[in-house]
A and B are shown apart, each in its own frame.
Chain A
Amino acid sequence: MKQFLIFVKKEWLHIWRDSRTLFILVWMPIVQIVLYGFALTNEVKNSTIAIFDQSKDAATTAISNEISASRYFKLVKNVHSYKEIEATFKQGKIRMAIVFPNNFSNDLLHSNHAQVQLIADASDPNTANTLTNYASSIISDYQQRLNNEQQLPYAINTQLRMLYNPELKGAYNFVPGVMALVLMLVCAMMTSIAIVKEKEMGTMEVILVSPLKPFLIIIAKTIPYLLVSVLNIASILLLSVYVLGVPITGNLWLLIWESILFTVTSLSVGILISNSAKTQQVAMFTSLMSLFLPTLLFSGFLFPVENMPLPLQVISNIVPAKWYYIIVKAVMIKGLGFSYVWKETLVLVGMTLLLLIISIRKFKTRLA
């Protein structure tokens, strides 16, 4: 036991004395949350628009007012020609322009056929899509109200609703994603680097030639990272609740235990990587390629898995972060209990056991 404790202590000293590592471990989650929260948000809020109103009648004024009153749009300019629209786009002042043709109201009321042109800056396709959707939705709202007043038959109403996240609030999406990412990186990458570092420095040679059991070496090396991860879970949750306003609707303890489970999964992945990597560089690269990217791509955090081609969907199942992401979303955002996530939990437990068995089995008690 004393052997074990002094090993853990030594591991702490390594982390504590390497200010760079410590910085990454403690600040990375915070920086990521803040980055995603404020800088990289895909929320549509106060998007700048211009309106080219050639009709200037009751209907166009009403629609314009409604659009600029919404929290999604901010009218920055009334323009008077197509040329001006183009110029304003080029200046980067607006993300969308709305063009009402001549006789808009007239057309709408008398020929039942009016046209609105939405011109969006599609260099960012996602935003462009969202913006046009919102604008269409506001316009069709208006149209619906008109229809109700006039009782016109045979009109098809298009209703647009953003399910689950009506405000398109990014935080609901990325907090679980960042948790998965950070835990994966901290646990898997850092442990694999820490173990490989001993190989590179030659200290592994001396430790192996001691009576210390390989199993103890592994556990002792992972414990400090497990603790750091718990700290990270806490800091991410506190930030998301108090800074980003994402509430924890479900059971906090369930969330924490699921997170610890995922931490252990990540740790075992890290040990597995360290078995085959010979240099810290390789360990880091392997972690990034085999963990960071798949987590980013397949967890559903950035791209919906359902939209992927079938082979990729199948692959996504072996990414532990996918299951954790589902669990966190269910528990934290939707407020569901264990009975809704037991299947995913079981998958994670299974993966963890498998990884742990393989990595401890494969841990080399010799150099080659």
Chain B
Amino acid sequence: MQTEKVITAKNLSKKFGHFVAVDHISFEVNKGEIFGFLGANGAGKTTAMRMLCGLSMPSSGEATVAGFDVYKQTEQIKKNIGYMSQRFSLYEDLTIGENIRFYAGIYGLTDKQIREKSDSLLKELNMQEHKKTLVRELPLGWKQKLAFSIAIVHDPAIVFLDEPTGGVDPITRREFWNLIYEASSNGITVFVTTHYMDEAEYCHRVSIMVDGRIDALGAPASLKKDHAAKTMDEVFLQLARKAVRSE
């Protein structure tokens, strides 16, 4: 694995009044790595992720994403990342093709690129015949796979996935992870949050946030060894039970 750093965070913090949502977190993510970002509800995951996406200004600390500074270069950051969440992804009242064209368009792809991209993307997802189907009519699993492919349509350096697989059936969930692996092997860094602990095992490295801090960081195997646990679920429960605050 290459050691090029795609995300670096040093003592990154965010305060809301007296409330410290994110408390001096430091970590690095390598190019092509699948980085699992875990934590209980209210541990500060969303806030940290927003700062890295250039949506929220940190209170203190440093961070760069794709080589750009999170304070000054948020516009460049936004051009170089993809984002997908369970809640927001696609326009339900547009067709698959229209969604692809729209997102590719807002990232500034040329018409020719858009045509090529949408062809290859539809082929990869086996959705060629459904190009003119409204997204609303697709099964949830399809939507999520499509949303992911669209999130990386502009070949970003990093893609942020916020609970991408919630509520999906187990087979689709695994197919979704195949897409993640593929993106990773193509050099796209994947930053992912999830509530499924078995998915944490699929990540190259995992961080676990508790009360705004990163309490554990490392490969799943070494985390399990450190905490004398058989599964990531146990590691997570051990750490998260120590939490004093809730949302």
Touch between chains A and B, by CB atoms below 8 Å: no
Contacts from A to B (Cβ < 8 Å): none
